[in-house]
Chain A
Amino acid sequence: MCAFQVEPTATILEIKSMFHKSSNLSADSWTVVFTEAKSLKDEDILQQLPVGTTATFYFRDLGAQITWAKVFLAECAGPLFIYLMFYFRLPFIYAPKYDFTTSKHWVVHLACICHSFHYVKRILENMFVHRLSPGTMPLRNIFKNCSYYWLFAAWMAYYINHPLYTTPYYGQQQVKAALIIFLFCQLGNFSIHVALRNLRQPGSKVKKIPYPTKNPFTWIFMVVSCPHYTYECGSWVGFTLMTQCVPVAFFTLIGFIRMTVWAKGKHRNYVKEFRDYPTLRSAILPFIL
């Protein structure tokens, strides 16, 4: 317990920093401030709050936190570099005679380009396209999230870049078809991200229903609520077909399950929020899911 004297024009952020200085909390710890009535934001000003000449504030220590932006960066940069480690056959992965060689199959080179392109695109989108919420999550979540992406990336990359890799059964036809699917879905995914970004003005909190735009890739909005997940699954289906690798298929399947759960949640929120939400739309798969 401690007491401060502040000006009525003080913001919660200032009160928080006074509290941090006087307490022993580490600089990384985030605190949430609330009165008996409700929780408060950094921008709230003291004199606008329903309190008298003395106000009682409660501080809850959330522990070390990390922003969404940093988490996404770690999740995407990891697989990018891990895959390349296997592609360039760094030592101690495969038998020593293969160190620093590259595969003789052209599909392996293509797969590396596609995989790397996918994650570079993701990183750039995180930096320039997505309007990420300023929210945070506990630091230990980053270990859980990153292990999922990093371990799967290592598992897939190990087999695709293996000296004993077997090329797809239907050869060039299969790889070409897979590449078309992959590129189509990457473009689609990017189009949706741009469309979602353009829905909201920077700083505004107004939620709007996304609609198809002039870009044909966005016409899928007519039948799906979360087409960015649909296109993402499509990309990974393409990658699975391209590499014909069971670990990739596994990753695609689990990714599909996760994204379906997220899509269903978002779809439910849309339907709850908007009375006139288009009834033709499904969550992630047109007319199916």
Chain B
Amino acid sequence: MASGEEDGSLEEKENNNKKRAKSAIATAWLTFYNIAMTAGWLVLAVAMIRFYLQKGTHKGLYKSISRTLKFFQTFALLEVGHCAIGIVRTSVIVTGVQVCSRIFMVWFVTNSIKQVQNEESVILFLVVWTLTEITRYSFYTFNLLNHLPYFIKWARYNMFIVMYPLGVIGELMTIYAALPHVRKSEMYSMRLPNKYNVSFDYYIFLIIIMLSYIPLFPQLFLHMLRQRRRVLHGEVIVEKDE
């Protein structure tokens, strides 16, 4: 009986050790990932500022940073994986939608439709994304290292109130500016008749994407508002007790 009990607790200890080791690896990886992403978006911010200071115009700015942007924005796909395997406690769907909308903008709008690269709306969403991502990734980094300054938490959960709508405006204006070029070039489109018996009109697809912002944006925005209430509201209660 006694040996049975010992075996039981030994197995438990082994499992606990394995769990602790796994979570240590996860934390180490996430810390590295978030530091790298913070650095990447800082580099983007610096590059954009330098370009504007040197050239005095925004024309050609997108082209100069496009490779760095594509690299770091695409890398963010890993975040969906983090949620899927459970090392980050966020919904896979919410993260998936946000990352996919970014990937879509970068690869299927500004990358493919070169005529929109000099639009002001592109600069708008680039600035918004850069500010948001630097705040977000530094928040995660400091959080993982358990040394989170309040101002970063405040920024992360308040800036979005302005940044999110501005970013959406920038993205929608860019897609809208791209429409006539897509119509003319018929890019990514497939017409009937063909042996697959399917058709695809990228122009209509872009319009559907624009319309999808109407139901999706409020949901994501409300999600952030709820997070904000939970995180910042909790903080207030603690202060009151003190």
A244: nearest chain-B partner, CB-CB: B197
Chain A contributes a number of interface residues (CB within 8 A of B) equal to: 12
Tell whether B3 is near chain A: CB-to-CB under 8 Å. Answer: no
In the bound assembly, the distance between CA atoms of A29 and B116 in angstroms comes to 53
Chain B interface main SS type: loop
Q: Are B193 and A246 in contact (CB under 8 A)?
A: no
A245: nearest chain-B partner, CB-CB: B197
Q: Are A164 and B196 in contact (CB under 8 A)?
A: no
Q: Which of A162, A246, A247 has the most CB of B within 10 A?
A: A246
Q: Are A245 and B193 in contact (CB under 8 A)?
A: no
B191: nearest chain-A partner, CB-CB: A164
Tell whether A169 is near chain B: CB-to-CB under 8 Å. Answer: yes
In the bound assembly, the distance between CA atoms of A97 and B194 in angstroms comes to 21
Q: Are A162 and B197 in contact (CB under 8 A)?
A: yes
Chain B contributes a number of interface residues (CB within 8 A of A) equal to: 8
Tell whether B195 is near chain A: CB-to-CB under 8 Å. Answer: yes
Q: Least Cβ distance of A109 to chain B in Å?
A: 16
Within 8 A of A (CB), among B165-209: 192-199
Q: Mark A152-163, 1 if CB is under 8 A from B, else 0.
A: 000000011010
Q: Which residues of A contact B192 (CB under 8 A)?
A: 159, 162, 164-165
Q: Which residues of A contact B197 (CB under 8 A)?
A: 159-160, 162, 165-166, 243-247
The 8 Å CB contact of B196, one of A160, A162, A244, is A244
Q: Least Cβ distance of B195 to chain A in Å?
A: 5
Q: Which residues of A contact B199 (CB under 8 A)?
A: 159
The 8 Å CB contact of A169, one of B193, B195, B198, is B195
Q: Are B195 and A166 in contact (CB under 8 A)?
A: yes
B200: nearest chain-A partner, CB-CB: A246
Q: Are A159 and B198 in contact (CB under 8 A)?
A: yes
In the bound assembly, the distance between CA atoms of A169 and B197 in angstroms comes to 11
A160: nearest chain-B partner, CB-CB: B197
Q: Which residues of A contact B198 (CB under 8 A)?
A: 159, 245-247
Q: Which residues of A contact B195 (CB under 8 A)?
A: 166, 169, 244
Q: Least Cβ distance of A108 to chain B in Å?
A: 11
Q: Which residues of B contact A162 (CB under 8 A)?
A: 192, 197
Q: Which residues of B contact A244 (CB under 8 A)?
A: 195-197
Listed in ascending order, the chain B residues whose CB lies under 8 Å from chain A are 192-199
**Nearest 3 CB-CB pairs, A to B?**
A246-B198, A164-B193, A164-B192
A-B contact pairs, 13 of them (CB 8 A): A159-B197, A159-B198, A162-B192, A162-B197, A165-B197, A166-B194, A166-B197, A169-B195, A244-B195, A244-B197, A245-B196, A245-B197, A247-B198
